[in-house]
Amino acid sequence: MLPSAASEASPQGIVRIYRLLDPRPDGFLNDVLAGLSLPQKAVPPKYFYDERGSQLFEEICGLDEYYPTRTELAIMRECIDDLAKLLGPDTELVEFGSGASVKTRILIERIRPSLYMPVDIAEVALREAAGGLARLFPWLNVSGLVADFAQPLALPEFVGVPVRRRVVYFPGSTIGNFTPGEALAFLRRVHGILGAGGVLVIGVDTKKSKKVLDAAYDDARGVTAEFNLNLLRRINRELGGDFQLARFRHKAFYDETAGRIEMHLESTHAQFVRIAGRRFDFAPGETIHTEISCKYAIEEFRALGHAARFHTQAVYTDPDRLFAVFAMMAV
Ligand code: AVJ
pLDDT digits (tens, 9 = 90+) for 215-250: 999 999 999 999 999 999 999 999 999 999 999 999
pLDDT tens-digit readout, 126-144: 888 899 999 999 999 999 9
Tell me what the mean pLDDT of segment 82-95 comes to.
96
Measure the CA–CA gap between 159 and 34, rounded to whole angstroms. 42
54 ligand 1 Cβ < 6 A = no
Least confident of 7-16, 133-142, 243-252, 270-279: 7-16
Please answer whether residues 299 and 276 qualify as being in contact, where contact means their C-beta atoms are separated by less than 8 angstroms: no
pLDDT at residue 45, as a whole number:
96
Question: Residue 93: pLDDT above 90?
Answer: yes
pLDDT at residue 154, as a whole number:
84
3 or 321: which carries more pLDDT confidence? Answer: 321
| Three-class secondary structure assignment of 268-304 | CCCEEEEECCEEEEECCCCEEEEEEEECCCHHHHHHH
Question: Residue 304: pLDDT above 70?
Answer: yes
pLDDT at residue 151, as a whole number:
85
pLDDT band with cut points at 50, 70 and 90 for residue 2: very low
Question: Residue 4: pLDDT above 50?
Answer: no
Question: Residue 33: pLDDT above 70?
Answer: yes
DSSP assigned state of 65: S
Question: 78 C-alpha to center of ligand 1: Å?
Answer: 23
Question: 174 C-alpha to center of ligand 1: Å?
Answer: 7
pLDDT at residue 156, as a whole number:
80
Nearest to 14 by CA among 113, 135, 175, 157: 135
Question: Residue 123: pLDDT above 70?
Answer: yes
CB neighbours of residue 197 within 10 Å: 11
Please report, for residues 46, 175, 180, 187, 296, the alpha-carbon distance to residue 183 in angstroms, rounded to integers and kept in the order given: 15, 6, 5, 6, 11
pLDDT band with cut points at 50, 70 and 90 for residue 21: low
- Please name the residues in contact with 25: beta carbons below 8 A apart, sequence gap of 6 or more: none
Average pLDDT, the chain: 92
Measure the CA–CA gap between 243 and 247, rounded to whole angstroms. 8
Question: Residue 106: pLDDT above 50?
Answer: yes
**Considering all CA atoms of the chain, what is the largest pairwise distance in Å, rounded to the nearest integer?**
62
293 ligand 1 Cβ < 6 A = yes
Minimum CA distance residue for ligand 1 atom 2? 174
Q: What percent of the chain has pLDDT over 90?
A: 80
Q: Pseudo-torsion of CA 203, 43, 119, 323, nearest 10°?
A: -10
177 ligand 1 Cβ < 6 A = yes
Tell me what the mean pLDDT of segment 252-263 comes to.
98
Q: State which ligand 1 atom lies nearest to the alpha carbon of 97.
A: 1
202 ligand 1 Cβ < 6 A = no
Minimum CA distance residue for ligand 1 atom 3? 174
Rounded to 5 degrees, what are φ and ψ at 92? -105, 115
217 ligand 1 Cβ < 6 A = yes
Please answer whether residues 323 and 68 qualify as being in contact, where contact means their C-beta atoms are separated by less than 8 angstroms: yes
Beta-bridged to residue 329, according to DSSP, are 199, 311
60 ligand 1 Cβ < 6 A = yes
pLDDT at residue 95, as a whole number:
95
For residue 225, the Cα-to-chain-centroid distance in whole angstroms is: 18
Question: 294 C-alpha to center of ligand 1: Å?
Answer: 10
Question: 330 C-alpha to center of ligand 1: Å?
Answer: 26
pLDDT tens-digit readout, 179-217: 999 999 999 999 999 999 999 999 999 999 999 999 999
CB neighbours of residue 329 within 10 Å: 20
101 ligand 1 Cβ < 6 A = no
